[in-house]
Structure 1
């Protein structure tokens, strides 16, 4: 005899399909949750790793900044020392020139003329003094111009006055300073 199933098989099939769907939906939901959780853990681990790298780099940058400041300070100190050395060398080289300059002034100064003030501003000399006459001031200026150590003098002021029955000429002049080429070589040695 044949078996005839009189039970509502379609309903039972629907229940089984619904049960399978629910189990499958729960499994997919759990898989999604596990995936989200693992992704969250992975991203947090990467963030932590990147933060550690950033902290390391920031520390290294601070160290390098400090070293750069130290190098700049050393460079500034070095430049200051080089500037001082240059000034000292210039002073050493010009020491004999000052002696020669005064010697040359004495050689160009005619009798009856004396200086009351000598001021050096860069490569210019400002001379002030007294002479017995205007002619002696003119002779002094000619002597300065003829000297290889001086350029052309410029008379600023000349005033004639009488003191204790003696006639004197007060003068003030400027003269550029030059140095003969062979004397520069000797001074540098």
Structure 2
């Protein structure tokens, strides 16, 4: 029987299988490394896109914040304008009362009385004037009391001056004023 020595052939087969295994292993490692690098690159690109999108959103938010600040200023101006409008409406509504007050004051003002100051605080009226005598002041108070525009007339102060009597008269305005 012939004996064939297959050991060298088997050794070559083993070496070839080992080289194929090594090439496949190196190929697999290189392929895995390429996949990892590709995934890393994709993740970095995605992060950059996300950063750019965030910066764009922050810029949009900053723009909206400035618009909100402008809107707040506009709201404050609107509130101030509405308050002024309400005040003007109240003054316009009181215009008839002021006319009635001045008309009643004119009718009740006797000869020898001069009104120096007329001030309204809430529903109180303060009249500072100069009169020829205290009898003229009493006549003024009677006539103002009859007019119905002023209530609770009260003489707060009277001073004698060389030019006449200086007086301070206070009154409460009628209910139509308040």
Instruction: State the Cα distance separating 1:90 from its structure 2 match.
Output: 3.1
Unaligned runs of 5+ in 1: 185-189
Q: Which residue of structure 1 aligns with residue 44 of structure 2?
A: 44
The number of residues matched between the two structures is: 177
CA distance in 2, matches of 1:84, 1:112: 40
Instruction: State the Cα distance separating 1:146 from its structure 2 match.
Output: 4.5
Instruction: State the Cα distance separating 1:114 from its structure 2 match.
Output: 1.0
The match for 2:167 among 165, 171, 182 is 171
Q: Which residue of structure 2 aligns with residue 125 of structure 1?
A: 125
Q: Is the 8 A contact 1:148 1:180 kept in 2?
A: no
CA distance in 2, matches of 1:30, 1:78: 70
Secondary structure at 1:152's aligned position in 2?
Answer: strand
Residue 95 (str. 1) matches residue 95 (str. 2): yes
Alignment deviations for residues 46-82 of structure 1 (CA, whole Å, 9 cap, x no partner):
1132123223323332333343344334434433443
Q: Which residue of structure 1 aligns with residue 75 of structure 2?
A: 75
CA distance in 2, matches of 1:158, 1:66: 61
Unaligned runs of 5+ in 2: none
Alignment deviations for residues 1-46 of structure 1 (CA, whole Å, 9 cap, x no partner):
2435374789767755654553343123212211211111210221
Secondary structure at 1:153's aligned position in 2?
Answer: strand
Secondary structure at 2:174's aligned position in 1?
Answer: coil
- What is the RMSD computed on CA atoms of the aligned residues? 3.5
| 1:106–1:56 Cα change, 3 Å | same
